[in-house]
């Protein structure tokens, strides 16, 4: 090795552009320095590229700090003051002090929920749920009118149940263990096509079939469920063990007997867990579909936004939190119950379930899903 110290080396030698010496150790050190230099250059190019793309993105969306500063007072006004603020103020006078305790007037939210029937209404007379059930003779009967919240839940449940048989069919037929390659790709391709189109677009496609209604929203969720849930079923079937299948086959069972008793029986718990997760996803998707005419809470929220009635919008948002958070919590509990060896740290609490609602609604609306 040469007798020079690191301080004697030139910048080109430091960055690995020149040979440090002739010995194998010095050549290896030169090579390492050059690799390090290349990594730094590539990182710099990457940062510059991200910066350029970020700048172009801001330009495309019309991002303006000046606009935010100008509109900020108007946003603050919309929160607490104005004709219909997000958080309507109220106050309670403290006796003998001349002071008043401010609070958010939740009564205005409740009044709007009742006025627009966002939850449900119970009316005297008629028959239960309007199903034609004759009331008993000793009272006049009641009629339960489901509100927008239950309409959203109904869209999610009906769409999920309608899509479940199709998802099971395509999921099983897409597995190479059931249908040999390359014929299984006919079914895989169909599910890939379904997943390539977001649920919002499926709703627009199906409008000529059933109009702008909750029915169309349920059909869109049915199609969406077929593509996503079917793919998850296929992935589970691809990972099962061969032992039970060979055992069933050794008894002389046919192909139609091997599939249910040798394959589906191994993934029954996983299927139930995925169905619970899919229902949770579809509730949030139903809210997103409501924004474009699919009914329920989403449609009510869109209507109030058009009228700039922020108090009523907040009432809808509160119910969205409660509905999506409740379904997510129930789904999490079902999946936790089905797990054979549940890790103690994997439980999801009530607070976490409700806090994650906005992010999950956005993810579902954009047509993306995460593994539970």
The model's pLDDT over 261-280, given as tens digits with 9 standing for 90+, comes to 888 888 888 898 899 989 98
- CATH assignment of the domain containing 187: 1.10.3720.10
Strand bridging mode 99-104 / 142-146: unpaired
The answer to whether the bond into 182 is cis (omega within 30° of 0) is yes
pLDDT in tens, 51-64: 999 999 999 999 99
Query: Using CA atoms, how far apart are residues 226 and 223, in angstroms rounded to an integer?
Result: 5
Tell whether 125 is covered by a domain: no
Tell whether 14 is covered by a domain: no
Tell whether 87 is covered by a domain: no
Enclosing domain of residue 221:
145-337
CB 313 within 8 A of CB 262: no
Taking the model in full, what pTM does it have? 0.76
pLDDT range class, residue 193, cuts 50, 70, 90:
very high
CB 166 within 8 A of CB 226: yes
Tell whether 104 is covered by a domain: no
Residue 369 has pLDDT above 60, yes or no: no
More confident residue, 355 or 134: 355
Tokens describing residue 226: 């077929």
Virtual CA dihedral for 123, 124, 129, 135, nearest 10 degrees? 180
pLDDT range class, residue 345, cuts 50, 70, 90:
very low
Tell whether 183 is covered by a domain: yes
Tell me the average pLDDT of the chain: 84
Tell whether 134 is covered by a domain: no
The CA-based angle 30-36-40, given to 5 degrees, is 145
pLDDT in tens, 201-212: 999 999 999 899
Tell whether 15 is covered by a domain: no
Domain count, the chain: 1
Tell whether 331 is covered by a domain: yes
**7: Cβ contacts below 8 Å, ≥ 6 apart:** none
More confident residue, 149 or 372: 149
Residue 124 has pLDDT above 80, yes or no: no
């Amino acid at each position: 090795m040469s007798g020079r110290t690191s301080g004697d080396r030139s910048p080109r030698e430091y960055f690995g552009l020149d040979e440090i010496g002739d010995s194998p150790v010095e050549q290896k050190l030169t090579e390492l320095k050059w690799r390090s230099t290349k990594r730094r250059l590539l990182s710099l190019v990457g940062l510059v590229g991200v910066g350029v793309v970020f700048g172009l993105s801001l330009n495309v969306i019309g991002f303006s700090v000046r606009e935010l500063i100008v509109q900020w007072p108007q946003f603050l006004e919309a929160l607490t003051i104005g004709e219909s603020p997000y958080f309507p103020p109220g106050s309670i006078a403290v006796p003998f002090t001349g002071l008043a305790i401010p609070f958010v007037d939740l009564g205005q939210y409740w009044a709007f929920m009742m006025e627009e029937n966002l939850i449900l209404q119970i009316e005297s007379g008629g028959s239960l749920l309007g199903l034609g059930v004759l009331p008993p003779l000793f009272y006049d009967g009641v009629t339960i009118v489901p509100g927008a919240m239950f309409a959203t839940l109904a869209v999610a449940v009906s769409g999920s149940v309608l899509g479940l048989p199709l998802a099971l069919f395509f999921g099983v037929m897409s597995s190479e263990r059931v249908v040999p390659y390359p014929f299984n790709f006919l079914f895989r391709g169909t599910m890939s096509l379904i997943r390539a189109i977001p649920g919002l677009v499926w709703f627009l496609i199906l409008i000529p079939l059933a109009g702008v209604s909750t029915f169309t929203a349920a059909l869109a969720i049915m199609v969406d469920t077929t593509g996503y849930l079917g793919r998850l079923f296929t992935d589970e079937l691809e990972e099962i063990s061969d032992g039970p299948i060979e055992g069933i086959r050794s008894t002389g069972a046919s192909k139609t007997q091997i599939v249910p008793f040798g394959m589906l029986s191994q993934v029954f718990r996983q299927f139930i867990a995925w169905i619970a997760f899919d229902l949770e996803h579809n509730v949030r998707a139903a809210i997103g579909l409501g924004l474009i005419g699919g009914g329920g809470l989403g449609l009510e929220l869109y209507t109030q936004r058009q009228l700039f009635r922020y108090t009523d919008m907040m009432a809808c948002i509160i119910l969205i939190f409660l509905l999506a958070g409740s379904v997510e919590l129930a789904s999490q509990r079902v999946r936790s119950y089905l797990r054979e060896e549940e890790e103690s740290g994997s439980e999801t609490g009530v607070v976490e379930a409700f806090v994650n609602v906005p992010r999950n609604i956005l993810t579902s609306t954009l047509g993306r899903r995460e593994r539970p």
